[in-house]
């Protein structure tokens, strides 16, 4: 009997060791297998939470506007003329030294792009540079010469108030949306080489009104905030890339759904 009991004890011990090897040890306090660190619940990023839970703003169009439904496409441009745009071009930014500084290359790219924009597209321009910040060309038609002149007059200097510019441009496009009785296309096109504060809040504001942001980042790092908050973001390390990025904004506008940003807001 003693030998039989000893064999049973030995057998039970071996089985227990095998089970531990196969399934891991248990939490002695609860009798359950410890939860791996990777499986712990992670609180949602506050910015991502805003995107996921936000509700689109209902744009009210008055029946007494006196306007008519139009399918006009509208591009509102924000051009960065901050102090960093005065930096000379080099092998890392600008490629060949065709242009003396980043601003001159950006001016060339924007004007080249404008040559290919159909005449039936309404355009507007907001600039921040050494002379200040604000709208220099109101959103509308028949203003190509004024647009080119305004681009030529940009003088690099000052900070990068991108958030304010995005909010302002959104308001102008929403006004146009109302005038066209909700028809047409509306795009905010941003050309910048620098970072700025409050970009998530400004982009969220644009998204609530259904205004898509197209950004061309000129010689900026991988962590630029507009990478996560633009419907389209294109990195440009030279002015040919910048020009191509602008050309791509003429492509058909995809269906805009703010939930598509969820993947970027980790």
Tell me which of 3.40.630.30, 3.40.50.410, 3.40.50.300, 3.40.190.10 is the CATH number of domain 68-253: 3.40.50.410
In this prediction, residue 96 has a pLDDT band, given cuts at 50, 70 and 90, of: low
Kindly report the CA angle at 119 between 116 and 243, in degrees rounded to 5?
20
Domain ranges of the chain: 68-253
Task: Give residue-wise pLDDT tens across range 208-224.
Answer: 888 989 888 888 877 77
- pLDDT-wise least confident of 92-101, 232-241, 252-261: 252-261
Q: In what order do the strands lie in the sheet with 232-236?
A: 132-140, 121-129, 73-80, 185-192, 213-218, 232-236
Average pLDDT for 4-31 = 45
**What residue ranges in 117-229 does DSSP mark as E strands?**
121-129, 132-140, 185-192, 213-218
DSSP SS3 for 237: coil
């Amino acid at each position: 009997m003693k030998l039989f009991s000893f064999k049973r004890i030995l057998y039970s011990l071996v089985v227990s060791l095998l089970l531990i090897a196969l399934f891991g040890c248990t939490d002695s306090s609860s009798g359950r297998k410890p939860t791996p660190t990777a499986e712990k619940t992670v609180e949602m990023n506050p910015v991502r939470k805003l995107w996921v839970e936000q509700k689109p703003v209902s744009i009210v169009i008055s029946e007494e506007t006196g306007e008519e439904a139009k399918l006009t496409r509208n591009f509102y441009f924000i051009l960065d003329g901050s102090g960093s745009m005065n930096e000379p071009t080099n092998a890392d930014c600008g490629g060949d030294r065709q242009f003396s500084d980043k601003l001159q290359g950006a001016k060339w790219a924007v004007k080249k792009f404008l040559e290919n924009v159909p005449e039936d597209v309404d355009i507007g321009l907001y600039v921040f540079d050494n002379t200040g910040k604000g709208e220099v060309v109101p959103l509308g038609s028949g203003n190509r010469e004024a647009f080119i002149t305004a681009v030529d007059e940009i003088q690099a200097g000052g900070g990068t108030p991108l958030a304010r510019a995005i909010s302002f441009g959104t308001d102008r496009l929403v006004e146009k949306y109302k005038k066209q009785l909700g028809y047409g296309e509306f795009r905010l096109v941003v050309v910048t080489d620098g970072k700025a504060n409050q970009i998530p809040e400004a982009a969220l504001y644009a998204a609530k009104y259904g205004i898509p942001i197209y950004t061309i980042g000129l010689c900026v790092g991988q962590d630029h905030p507009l990478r996560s908050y633009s419907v389209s973001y294109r990195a440009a390390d030279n002015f040919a890339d910048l020009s191509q990025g602008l050309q791509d904004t003429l492509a058909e506008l995809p269906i805009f759904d703010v939930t598509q940003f969820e993947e970027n807001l980790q």
